[in-house]
Amino acid sequence: MGQGVSYFTKDEQNEILEQTKLSPRYLQEVQKRYSQYDTSKSKDETSGVTIEQVLLIPEVNQHKLAPIFAEKYGGRSGILYPKEFVNFFAAFSSARTPSEKVELLFEILDVRKLGYLQGIEMYRYYHILLSPSLSDSQIENVAKKALNLTGGKIDLDKFKQIVQPWEVAEKMTIVLQLTD
């Protein structure tokens, strides 16, 4: 993997690289970033990185979808540990195809894990993307129209028809500035 901090065994690194499609160099850079924000003194006893810290990372802070992904990976604790931190950046990596990003976005929005989205999830999605350009009532109308066109429930297939993969890919791509 090269030099630098590694929070994972060789087997874990290989598994992460296979699952995330990240390059070894990118994985190393993400781990290096993690070590910059983690306040612990040992990679074996990491204290984690808060959601707030993640959202302040320069490449992240302008992405509208980053907060909901940080919330997912931070869980109830609001802390991302090395694997969650890597998965967060893997979700926004250019290694993910637009279709994969749409599926991941759907999974994140489906907070109740019902296999479909309804009013509040669609409102949240459109609110993230369209606020402050549209008022809350206008965003609510957009969400209602989408739901009316799909019978009130939006499963993954319908979601793929509603959202444009290129648009999701554009909004779900973070390019980390790699260091030497």
Task: Give the tens place of pLDDT for each residue, 122-146.
Answer: 999 999 888 888 999 999 999 999 8
Q: What is the mean pLDDT of the chain?
A: 90
Contact in structure between 90 and 20 (CB atoms under 8 Å): yes
What angle is formed at CA 88 by the lines to CA 123 and CA 15, rounded to 5 degrees?
A: 135
pLDDT at 46 (0 to 100): 83
**Res 2 pLDDT > 50:** no
Contact in structure between 128 and 68 (CB atoms under 8 Å): yes
pTM comes to 0.87
pLDDT at 42 (0 to 100): 67
pLDDT at 117 (0 to 100): 95
Q: pLDDT category, 71, cuts 50, 70, 90? A: very high
Tokens 């604790």 identify what position?
77
Instruction: Please give the helix or strand (H or E) that residue 110 lies within, else none.
Output: none
Q: Which one-letter DSSP state was computed for residue 50?
A: E
- Quick one: which of 96, 101, 93, 48 has its CA closest to 73? 48
Alpha-carbon gap, residue 148 to 142, rounded angstroms: 10
